[in-house]
Structure 1
Amino acid sequence: MSFDTAAFQIDPTPRRADGEYMAHATIRGTPPGGVAFTHLSGDLAGFDLRDDAIRYASNWAEEWLNKRYGA
């Protein structure tokens, strides 16, 4: 990532639903020269393992930030 990662907080905590972990991400931050925001991904995908859901949501959030604030 080419932007200041300290300006953003990613919370990839999955939720448990119907016997699986639903990956989703909450992104909070203030981009350089911008306005503070919170972005909710919504459900991204279901996983049997909690760690897989966290990894997926974290990667999704980093890609989302990169598309908007990367070089």
Structure 2
Amino acid sequence: MRFNSTLIVIDPTPRRADGEYMAHARISGSRADGTGYEIHSSGDLAGFDAREDAIAYAKNWAQDWLHARFG
């Protein structure tokens, strides 16, 4: 499934904690009038040594979460 990036945005920015990058995802949307709203925030998903690995994990997790709920 492909999501319209103008309506749904995945922010996979990890946070740094205890020497590792904690993957998490914030999924938000945009209403017709342009105002934003949060759909879901994952909390910490997993820890990684590399920032890029945390980002990739969070993106995949968010896409799976969206697919499971909105098909």
TM-score, normalised to structure 2's length? 0.82
**Following the alignment from structure 1 to structure 2, what is the Cα–Cα distance between the partners of residues 29 and 67?**
17
**SS of match in other structure, 1:29:** strand
Question: Higher strand fraction: Structure 1 or Structure 2?
Answer: 2
Match of 1:5 in 2: 4
Q: Which has the higher contact order (CA 8 A, sep 6+)?
A: 1
**2:24 matched to 1:21?**
no
Q: Shift of residue 69 of structure 1? A: 1.0
**Following the alignment from structure 2 to structure 1, what is the Cα–Cα distance between the partners of residues 30 and 16?**
29
Q: Say what the alpha-carbon RMSD is for the aligned residues.
A: 1.7
Match of 1:63 in 2: 64
Gap regions ≥5 residues in structure 2: none
